[in-house]
Amino acid sequence: MEETIRCPYTGVSWGLGGGNSIGCPPILNFGTEEQKMEYLPRVHSGEIRFCLGITEPEAGSDVAGIRSTAVLSADKTHYIVNGAKKWITNGLWSDYVTTAVRTGRPGIEGISLLIVPLNAPGVTRRRIQNSGLYASGSTYIGLSDVKVPVRNLIGKENEGFKIIMSNFNPERLSLAVGSLRLARTCYEEAWRHALTRKTFGNSLMANQVIRAKFANMTRAIESCRAWVEQIVYQMQHQKDAANDPQIGAKLALAKVQAGKVLEMCCREAQQVFGGLGMSKEGKGHIVEQISRDLRVYVVGGGSEEILDDLGIRLMLSKL
Ligand SMILES: Cc1cc2nc3c(=O)[nH]c(=O)nc-3n(C[C@H](O)[C@H](O)[C@H](O)COP(=O)(O)OP(=O)(O)OC[C@H]3O[C@@H](n4cnc5c(N)ncnc54)[C@H](O)[C@@H]3O)c2cc1C
């Protein structure tokens, strides 16, 4: 993830793999052998693509509040799916969406995950115009009486919530890593500019107040990066790490912190660039692009307010 995000245009890397990387793990980790063999080799060869459809117009942070429904047909051979999904990365050109639907009672106990073919009758798609990440293909997916075979159910009916939650830890780690890589890019671009841009007869870097900005960014990036490395080490070496609430807590809080570091570094880099920091052309254009892309790092995969609280609740859960 870190190397991919060295291409500072997040839309490009998300456009290439953003859907598969969150849409396929439920099949990989909870799917039947038949489902794995039907889809994953073709994803691997690039023949087909997946995206993940959790968020809805009326339910984002509150995943348990999703309203899209899947009703089993009388002959129990298929579900009839109705509803809508919003901001679905890669939705425009994916072949399947791993979709959260309501099959049971309200709340977390009535949610299932279905593989919905996006070429099925009743599916509509349109691009959502966001400020950044254009190449990621953010999509509004409409589902109107879409027939989905029962064999496309991932895991058991009404047990989809835990599958959705299991997807979040890796996603949060990847968002944290991406945020810190982009923060470094902002730093690097601004550093180069501060050395070469002259004002009042001197380079920008000759001013203490400018050097202080770099000190601030260095402290923030390096300490957060070290924390993320530590969490990754723990994930690799601790038994049953994937189910440890303490690791989930750290990932939630580290993702928030990395997002804050990115916001701060992007702001400071734009400041070092002056007017160039908001120009789509010229030396500041990379930082300007990051300033439009970064919101998704702060909001996606669980927004700041939600994750801060989740982190502390997970910590308390082990007391
Ligand atoms: C570019 C982009 C790509 C995305 N890709 C996907 C994708 O591929 N698949 C997918 O399923 N979703 C995707 N999303 C959706 C994303 O996961 C949601 O935007 C996110 O979960 C937040 O939901 P929301 O936007 O509905 O915000 P809301 O839930 O409406 O929340 C709005 C704000 O209020 C805060 N808030 C909400 N409730 C509380 C509370 N109780 N207390 C305090 N604060 C609160 C939140 O932190 C947030 O900042 C994408 C979004 C974007 C912008």
pLDDT tens for 71-98 read: 999 999 999 999 999 999 999 999 999 9
Percent share of the chain, pLDDT over 70: 99
| pLDDT given for residue 317 in this prediction | 83
Buried b (16+ CB within 10 A) or exposed e, 176-189: bbbbbbbbbbbbeb
Of 10, 13, 55, the residue with max ligand 1 atoms within 8 A of its CB, to mutate for a pocket test, comes to 55
CA of 18, closest atom in ligand 1? 8
CA-proximal residue: ligand 1, atom 11 (nearest):
54
303 CA to middle of ligand 1, Å? 6
| pLDDT given for residue 318 in this prediction | 66
172 CA to middle of ligand 1, Å? 13
Of 51, 303, 313, the residue with max ligand 1 atoms within 8 A of its CB, to mutate for a pocket test, comes to 303
Burial-class residue 221 by CB neighbours within 10 Å (0-12, 13-18, 19+).
buried
Mean pLDDT for 20-30 is 96
The alpha carbon torsion through 202, 204, 207, 209 (nearest 10 deg) reads 160
pLDDT tens for 132-176 read 999 999 999 999 999 999 999 999 999 999 999 988 999 999 999
224-231: list long-range contacts, CB under 8 Å, 24+ apart. Answer: 224/176, 224/180, 224/254, 224/257, 224/258, 224/261, 225/180, 227/254, 227/257, 228/173, 228/176, 228/177, 228/180, 228/254, 228/258, 231/173
Whether 319 has a pLDDT exceeding 90, the answer reads no
Report phi then psi at 221, rounded to 5. Answer: -70, -50
To the nearest whole number, what is the mean pLDDT of the chain? 96
- Reduced 3-state DSSP string for the chain: CCCHHHCCCHHHHHHHHHHHHHHCHHHHHHCCHHHHHHHHHHHHHCCCCEEEECCECCECCCHHHCCCEEEECCCCCEEEEEEEEEEEECCCCCCEEEEEEECCCCCHHHEEEEEEECCCCCEEEEECCCCCCHHHCEEEEEEEEEEEEHHHEECCCCCHHHHHHHHHHHHHHHHHHHHHHHHHHHHHHHHHHHHHCEECCEEHHHCHHHHHHHHHHHHHHHHHHHHHHHHHHHHHHCCCHHHCHHHHHHHHHHHHHHHHHHHHHHHHHHHHHHHHHHCCCCCCHHHHHHHHHCHHHHHCCCCHHHHHHHHHHHHHHCC
CA of 52, closest atom in ligand 1? 9
CA of 100, closest atom in ligand 1? 11
pLDDT tens for 240-281 read 888 889 999 999 999 999 999 999 999 999 999 999 999 999
CA of 19, closest atom in ligand 1? 8
CA of 89, closest atom in ligand 1? 8
| pLDDT given for residue 172 in this prediction | 95
| pLDDT given for residue 242 in this prediction | 82
Of 49, 51, 58, 61, the residue with max ligand 1 atoms within 8 A of its CB, to mutate for a pocket test, comes to 61
CA-proximal residue: ligand 1, atom 48 (nearest):
303
Mean pLDDT for 64-68 is 95
87 CA to middle of ligand 1, Å? 9
Lining residues, ligand 1, CB within 6 Å: 51-55, 60-61, 87-89, 130, 133, 138, 296, 299-300, 303-306
Whether 2 has a pLDDT exceeding 80, the answer reads yes
| pLDDT given for residue 233 in this prediction | 96
- Which residues is 305 bridged to in the sheet? none
Domains delineated in the chain: 4-158 (2.40.110.10), 162-317 (1.20.140.10)
